[in-house]
Amino acid sequence: MADQQSDLSEEFIARQRTRLEALRRQLLGGEASTTADDRAAEEEHGEEAREFEDTAQSMAQNEINQSLHDVNDQRVSDIERALRKIDEGTYGLSDESGEPIPQGRLEVMPEAILTVAEQSRRETGQ
């Protein structure tokens, strides 16, 4: 990894820290809310007769929820890594190559820890 310094301003990095912390709270709070909603629905309707369609719909919803959970887990992990990078003074530099991540990318995706090309390779498994 290249030994570079990020050329991001301290003000920008401070704003990003605030955004990252809020995003982490939102993601973790949203997941807790979904779990609580599922539990409340089960308690409310647990004794009712169920149709096959209800079971199929429930299974499909569980698959969707698991996929969202997996995506959110990765995002929370990236958020936590970005917060550590702020503490280390390496925020804005790729974890993979050490190359600067464009400020525009960080504005759109504050948890970005890779360049666009590196992220694309990560997502396609290359």
DSSP string, 4-48: ------HHHHHHHHHHHHHHHHHHHHHHHHHHHHHHHHHHHHTTS
Domain containing 66 — which CATH number? 1.20.120.910
Residue 18, pLDDT score? 97
In a domain, 4, yes or no: no
In a domain, 67, yes or no: yes
Give the CA-trace dihedral at 123, 110, 62, 46, to 10 degrees. 170
Along the 126 residues of the chain, how does pLDDT read in single tens digits? 444 557 899 999 999 999 999 999 998 887 555 555 556 656 665 555 566 666 677 677 667 666 666 667 889 999 999 999 999 999 999 999 999 999 999 999 999 999 999 999 988 887
In a domain, 72, yes or no: yes
0.75 exceeded by pTM: no
In a domain, 112, yes or no: yes
Residue 125, pLDDT score? 84
Residue 2, pLDDT score? 44
Domain that holds residue 114: 10-124
In a domain, 2, yes or no: no
The total number of structural domains that make up the chain:
1
**3-class SS of residue 92:** coil
In a domain, 1, yes or no: no
